[in-house]
Amino acid sequence: MRLVWLAALSLLLTACAPLWQAKTTESPEQKWQQQQQEIASLKDWRFRGRTAITQGREGWNAGITWQQQGDGFDIKLSGPFSQGGAELMGDAQQVTLTLDNGEQYSAQTPEQLLAKTLGWLLPVSALRDWVRGVPYKDAAVDKYQLDENGRLKTLEQAGWQVEYLRYVPFNGLVVPAKIFIKHPDLNIRLVIADWSRAE
């Protein structure tokens, strides 16, 4: 009889074990590492929204559509040039800026092109990563802070401060929807209305 009771007690403890054993949870750092790997697979994407750019005492507001396919990108801005627009297209070899009046300018990098033609110090190459919620792959990370879900809350890289204020779900991932980017000489506010796959 004693053996029967011991066997019953053993079965009961085994059945109840999951109820009292501590569950293993991932830390924000572990979640972030996983999210970076998932975001890295997102190579073809598109978003539209609005941006505000402030440089010194000057400021511009524009609608923005950004389409990325591998290294190739197509960024359309509407509104900042006397209510006209501009299109920045390029890849790893060359970048071209086309204004509404038909004027075209080219350079090897988007940073060189925008600085030369508009006087803007925009970190376009870094923005490709920042807008997806990950650090720029070609620069060291100076400092970062994560939220409880392992998403970037703040990021400091190459003299820029990036603040993430809102995220939204997209295609099984979580991506930024509101970003503030600060530099001693320039500020960028970006509000993304929607994300989609590149066409």
110-157 tens-digit pLDDT: 999 999 988 888 899 999 999 999 999 999 999 999 999 999 999 999
How many Å apart are CA 35 and CA 133, to the nearest integer?
Answer: 9
Q: Looking at the domain assignment, is residue 116 inside a domain?
A: yes
Place of tokens 């000489």: 185
Q: Looking at the domain assignment, is residue 13 inside a domain?
A: no
**How does pLDDT run along the chain (199 residues), one tens digit per residue?**
554 454 444 544 445 545 444 455 789 899 989 988 999 888 999 999 999 999 888 888 999 999 999 999 999 999 765 557 899 999 989 999 998 888 999 999 999 999 998 888 889 999 999 999 999 999 999 999 999 999 999 999 999 999 999 999 998 999 999 999 999 989 999 999 999 998 7
Please tell me whether the overall predicted TM-score, pTM, comes out greater than 0.95 for this model.
no
Contact (CB, 8 A) for 100 and 92: no
Q: Looking at the domain assignment, is residue 8 inside a domain?
A: no
Q: Looking at the domain assignment, is residue 15 inside a domain?
A: no
CATH number at residue 137: 2.50.20.10
Identity at 100, one-letter amino acid code: D
Contact (CB, 8 A) for 189 and 180: yes
Q: Looking at the domain assignment, is residue 95 inside a domain?
A: yes
Q: Residue 134 belongs to what domain range? A: 28-196
Q: Looking at the domain assignment, is residue 21 inside a domain?
A: no
Q: Looking at the domain assignment, is residue 18 inside a domain?
A: no
Work out how many domains the chain is built from and give that number: 1
Q: Which residues pair with 98 in a beta bridge?
A: 87, 104
Q: Looking at the domain assignment, is residue 20 inside a domain?
A: no
